[in-house]
């Protein structure tokens, strides 16, 4: 197993400690979240726990169900106790970039209704400043090229995410993704507002002030916890 995979697995397994019997658990998307889902399913089967999962993508729902976990739609639960998800980048203030796996919209919907959000990452995701990883912007298909032009006018160096040479990638909601570069942008909060205000943009992958805890799967494990003011 590669070093990075080892760290992802270590973080994902540690996150099991966030879950107790009876909880509704948000199930993230990506390779690290997949390790968590597998470990959770094993724990549930072993301990005969009653856990309800709320998935952040079709593939996480399918994985969880294939392992015997109960998965409900977000609108079928009254609250989500904790969500365990991966991230593409995280800074020391626990702000992050998500959506490398194109699931940012559902991930943000689930995260914003979760009592606690825990991210599981390997060391390569930890950065002092956000912006090394391209920021995904989810846009509706109609007029996507117009949104692209607006993002170019903002000097964000947009690039459509492609499925193959000729086909644009599509999210679970049938939207397109435009990845932009934000390494030159100092005020990420202002950028988040600007992006949300563009007609045609559904969501962006800046997760600001959402995460409560980051587990970095180094040996020994490092944990970052949100400072309470």
Residues annotated within a binding site for substrate? 29-32, 85-88, 98-101, 125
Among 37, 40, 103, 215, binds ligand 5RP (CB under 6 A): 103
User: Strand, coil or helix: what is 179?
Assistant: strand
Query: Shortest distance, CB of residue 104 to ligand 5RP, whole angstroms?
Result: 5
Binding status of residue 53 toward ligand 5RP by CB under 6 A: no
How far is 219 from 61, CA to CA, in rounded Å? Answer: 30
Question: Would you report the helix, strand and coil content of the chain in percent, each value rounded to 5?
Answer: 35, 25, 45
Binding mask of the shown chain, residues 171 to 190, with x at each position contacting ligand 5RP by CB under 6 A: --------------------
Asked if residue 99 binds ligand 5RP (CB under 6 A), the reply is yes
- For residue 175, the minimal CB distance to ligand 5RP (Å) is 13
Residue with Cβ nearer ligand 5RP (107 or 179): 107
Q: Extract the runs of DSSP E, i.e. beta strands, from the chain.
A: 24-27, 52-55, 70-71, 82-85, 89-90, 96-97, 117-121, 135-139, 159-160, 176-180, 201-204, 206-207, 213-216, 222-225
- Sole window of 19-27, 85-93, 151-159, 220-228 interacting with ligand 5RP (rule: CB under 6 A): 85-93
Residue 29 sits in the site that holds ligand 5RP (CB under 6 A): yes
Least spacing, CB of residue 26 vs ligand 5RP, in Å? 12
CB nearer to ligand 5RP: pick between 81 and 85 = 85
Task: Name which position in 61, 82, 95, 100 contacts ligand 5RP (CB under 6 A).
Answer: 100
Which lies closer to ligand 5RP via its Cβ, residue 161 or residue 191? Answer: 161
Contacts of 202 (CB under 8 A, 6+ apart): 105, 138, 139, 140, 173, 175
Separation CA 46–CA 224 (nearest Å): 30
- Per CB under 6 A, does 134 bind ligand 5RP? no
What is the residue-wise DSSP string for 23-41? Answer: -EEEE--SHHHHHHHHHHH
Residues forming contacts to ligand 5RP in the complex (CB under 6 A) are 8, 28-33, 85-88, 98-104, 107
């Amino acid at each position: 197993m590669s070093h990075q995979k080892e760290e992802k697995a270590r973080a994902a397994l540690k996150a099991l400690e966030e879950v107790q019997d009876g909880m509704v658990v948000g199930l993230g998307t990506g390779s690290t979240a997949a390790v968590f889902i597998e470990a959770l399913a094993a724990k549930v089967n072993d301990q005969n726990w009653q856990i309800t999962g709320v998935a952040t993508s079709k593939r996480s729902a399918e994985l969880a169900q294939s392992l015997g976990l109960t998965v409900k739609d977000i609108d079928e639960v009254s609250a989500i106790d904790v969500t365990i998800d991966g991230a593409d980048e995280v800074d020391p203030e626990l702000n992050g970039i998500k959506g490398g796996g194109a699931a940012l919209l559902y991930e943000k919907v689930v995260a914003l209704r979760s009592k606690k959000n825990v991210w599981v990452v390997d060391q390569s995701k930890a950065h002092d400043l956000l912006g090394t990883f391209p920021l995904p912007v989810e846009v509706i298909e109609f007029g996507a090229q117009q949104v692209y032009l607006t993002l170019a006018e903002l000097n964000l160096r947009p690039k459509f995410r492609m499925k193959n040479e000729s086909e644009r990638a599509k999210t679970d909601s049938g939207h397109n993704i435009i990845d932009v570069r934000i390494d030159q942008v100092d005020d990420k909060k202002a950028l988040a507002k600007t992006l949300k205000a563009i007609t045609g943009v559904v969501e962006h992958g800046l997760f600001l002030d959402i995460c409560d805890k980051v587990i970095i799967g180094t040996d020994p494990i490092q944990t970052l916890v949100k400072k309470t003011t």
